[in-house]
């Protein structure tokens, strides 16, 4: 099975590239983030023409998540257990589904904006709700993984220049501790073990020639239980999809496994 995650930074703007990528990469399951479209505006008919069922969750603002599957999609859940709200609203940042016996969650973790901001506190509360959902659902009976844009670089090596982030989100101790708590709940960061090259960044800012200079970050992650992680045979960051006109600022992350 081939499972991918991709922050498309607007599924409407990226639709031609998404459809072309689905045809070329041939993933069985795709977790999408930052749809920037409402649930009923998701291009389900277009992806269905390529054989994919879709479960989407969005409001039309800057967030939104979806799961595409060509191997079936069941037990869809929108939102986390005990998910917090921000400014009195529940944001569409997580969707779970079972695809051919594999339980996956597509997550778009809040950015946090800056340490001390209320959005940063919301980010930490949201990650705690993610931990609770993981504990509730990852029972070891089926492969389980959380994939998506975590907006956290797990280590200093996952940022092109850590000295530039001393007062920024994405690298703070509290955020990284939240990832450590996920590991304590039985999940592991799949990519470092599976990728075969250095600096597998997944995000590059549009500004200051960040992509040509490889000034990136690894913030699109695959956190999986032992049954999922033990089945992984290969993984890659599709840097080619970050190139050219109209690209997202994130590249797809692809994982192959024998389940």
> So what's the pLDDT on residue 183?
94
pLDDT band at 184 (very low <50, low <70, confident <90, very high): very high
pLDDT digits (tens, 9 = 90+) for 136-159: 999 889 999 999 999 999 999 999
Where b means 16+ CB within 10 Å and e means fewer, 193-218 reads ebbeeeebbbbbeeeeebbeeebbbb
Top pLDDT among 236 and 197 is at: 236
> So what's the pLDDT on residue 205?
96
Mean of all residue pLDDT scores within the chain: 95
Q: Are 102 and 3 in contact (CB under 8 A)?
A: yes
d(CA 191, CA 201): 11
Residue 181: helix, strand or coil by DSSP? helix
Please report how the helices 118-137 and 173-184 are oriented relative to each other, as an axis angle in degrees rounded to 10.
10
- Token readout for 27 is 């993933």
pLDDT band at 199 (very low <50, low <70, confident <90, very high): confident
- Mean of pLDDT values over 180-197: 86
d(CA 79, CA 93): 7
DSSP code per residue over 28-68: SEEEEE---SBGGGS-HHHHHTTT-EEEEE-BSSS--EEEE
pLDDT over 90 at 61, yes or no: no
pLDDT over 80 at 195, yes or no: no
> So what's the pLDDT on residue 191?
85
> So what's the pLDDT on residue 93?
98
Domains observed in the chain? 2-253 (3.60.10.10)
Sequence-distant (≥ 6) Cβ neighbours of residue 60 within 8 angstroms: 36, 37, 38, 41
Give percent above pLDDT 90 in the chain. 92
170 catalytic per annotation: no
108 catalytic per annotation: yes
Catalytic residue among 149, 158, 189, 225: 149
Q: What are phi and psi of 157, to 5 degrees?
A: -70, -10
- Mean of pLDDT values over 37-63: 96
Give percent above pLDDT 70 in the chain. 98
> So what's the pLDDT on residue 127?
98
pLDDT digits (tens, 9 = 90+) for 81-137: 999 999 999 999 999 999 999 999 999 999 999 999 999 999 999 999 999 999 999
119 catalytic per annotation: no
Q: Are 104 and 97 in contact (CB under 8 A)?
A: yes
Q: Are 229 and 192 in contact (CB under 8 A)?
A: no
Catalytic residue among 52, 57, 108, 236: 108
pLDDT over 80 at 236, yes or no: yes
Rounded (5°) CA angle 1-31-168: 130
Q: Are 178 and 107 in contact (CB under 8 A)?
A: no
- Token readout for 2 is 């081939």
Q: Residues annotated as binding site for Mg(2+)?
A: 7, 34, 149, 151, 249-250
Q: Residues annotated as binding site?
A: 7, 34, 149, 151, 249-250
d(CA 252, CA 238): 5
pLDDT over 70 at 182, yes or no: yes
- Token readout for 228 is 């999922």
Which of 249, 87, 112 minimizes the C-alpha distance to 167?
A: 112
> So what's the pLDDT on residue 24?
98
CA distances from 208 to 211, 212, 213 (A): 9, 9, 9
> What does the radius of gyration of the chain's CA atoms come to, in whole angstroms?
17
């Amino acid at each position: 099975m081939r499972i991918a995650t991709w922050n498309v930074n607007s599924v409407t703007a990226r639709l031609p590239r998404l459809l072309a990528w689905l045809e070329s990469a041939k993933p069985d399951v795709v977790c999408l983030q930052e749809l920037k479209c409402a649930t009923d505006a998701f291009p389900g008919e277009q992806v269905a023409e390529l054989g994919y069922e879709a479960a989407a969750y969005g409001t039309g603002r800057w967030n939104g998540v979806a799961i595409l599957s060509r191997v079936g999609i069941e037990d869809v859940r929108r939102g986390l257990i005990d998910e917090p709200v921000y400014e009195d609203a529940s944001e569409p940042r997580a969707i779970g589904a079972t695809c051919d016996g594999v339980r996956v969650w597509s997550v778009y973790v809040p950015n946090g904006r800056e340490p001390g901001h209320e959005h940063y506190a919301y980010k930490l509360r949201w990650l705690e709700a993610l931990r609770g959902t993981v504990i509730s659902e990852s029972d070891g009976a089926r492969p389980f993984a959380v994939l998506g844009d975590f907006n956290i670089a797990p280590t200093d090596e996952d940022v092109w220049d850590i000295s530039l982030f001393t007062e920024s989100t994405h690298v703070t101790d509290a955020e990284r501790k939240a990832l450590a708590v996920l590991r304590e709940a039985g999940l592991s960061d799949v990519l470092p073990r599976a990728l075969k090259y250095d600096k597998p960044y997944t995000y590059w800012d549009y500004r200051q020639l960040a992509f040509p200079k490889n000034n990136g970050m690894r913030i699109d992650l695959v956190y999986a239980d032992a049954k999922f992680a033990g089945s992984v045979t290969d993984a890659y960051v599709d840097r080619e999809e970050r190139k050219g006109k109209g690209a997202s600022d994130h590249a797809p992350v692809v994982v192959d496994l024998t389940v």
